[in-house]
Amino acid sequence: MSFEVGPLAASPPVIPNYGGPPGGAHGCIARNGTFCWDWVKGHWGDVLQPRLLEHLELTVIAVGIGFAIAFAAALFAHRQRWFETPFSTFSAFLYTIPSLALFQLLVPFTGLTKLTIEIGLVGYTLLILFRNILEGLRSVPGDVLEAAHGMGLTGRQILLRIELPLAFPAISAGLRIAVVTTISLATVAAYITPLGLGQPIFYGLATDFTTEFVATAALAIALAIVADGLLVLAQRMFTPWARARRRTA
């Protein structure tokens, strides 16, 4: 297989004339300082914000589709135990493939497209989501299920009213890992096609312009932290019971 030469090796190191006044860069940017706030302000609108939104879109689509597949597979494995091992093995196999290699493997089939990126990212979410959803469903105590059956809940009612609500903390824990992992992995996607925060990171690395690289990486980290925080909040809102403890002995 031929290895395409990526932007890392392709471009010569350059100190770009970013954000400077007409006639040339000055100050922090000219010195190629570690982090130049001027540049960030000047290029929020044309570099950082559009890439951030692309990145968010890549992540939401990947986790959404990954969740739908993993959820269906986990529900099936919950009823049909035999299905757990093959799906686990398959998703663990996907998980072990190095991300650059996986994207590269897909290119001959789906080209240098967003589709290639999404297929790869979805693949990485499956193991975590499948395991967590299945664990959540299985964590429902036996006596709770026995009581539910004994009270005349149908199988469907038990799933919707008992098992899924009780699995929610485990499911949301899986979602948090999947979201943070996908945000991080999606930066590699720019290797295939210039989308998301990976693009300025690659560009910053290739041109040796430190601020672009540092600012974008920081933005990716911030995105991961904010997304994780929102998921924690959502979980707390939907599972007030999970924190309920006896008030008095």
Q: 159-188: which residues touch other proteins (CB under 8 A)?
A: 162, 165-166
Quickly count helices (H) and strands (E) in the chain.
Answer: 12, 0
Q: Which of 34, 149, 226, 236 binds other proteins (CB under 8 A)?
A: 149
Alpha helices in 111-189 (DSSP H): 114-138, 142-150, 155-157, 164-185
Task: Rule CB under 8 A: choose which of 46, 82, 152, 237 binds other proteins.
Answer: 152
Per CB under 8 A, 245 contacts other proteins: yes
Residue closer to other proteins by CB (options 22, 141) is 141
The span of 65-73, 114-122, 141-149, 175-183 binding other proteins (CB under 8 A) equals 141-149
Name the DSSP class of 53. Answer: H
Place of tokens 């996986």: 102
| Residue 154 found at the interface with other proteins (CB under 8 A) | yes
Asked if 52 and 59 touch (Cβ cutoff 8 Å), the reply is no
Q: How far is the CB of 146 from other proteins (least distance, A)?
A: 6
Q: Which residues are CB-neighbours of 100 under 8 A, at least 6 positions away?
A: 188, 191
Residue from 29, 52, 134, 148 touching other proteins (CB under 8 A): that is: 148
Spatial separation of the C-alpha atoms in residues 156 and 81, rounded to whole Å: 18
Phi, psi at 12, each rounded to 5°:
-75, 150
137 binds other proteins (CB under 8 A): no
Residue 61 binding other proteins, by CB under 8 A: no
- The SS3 assignment for 136 reads helix
Residues at the site binding other proteins, with contacts judged by CB under 8 A: 141, 143-154, 157, 162, 165-166, 239-242, 244-247
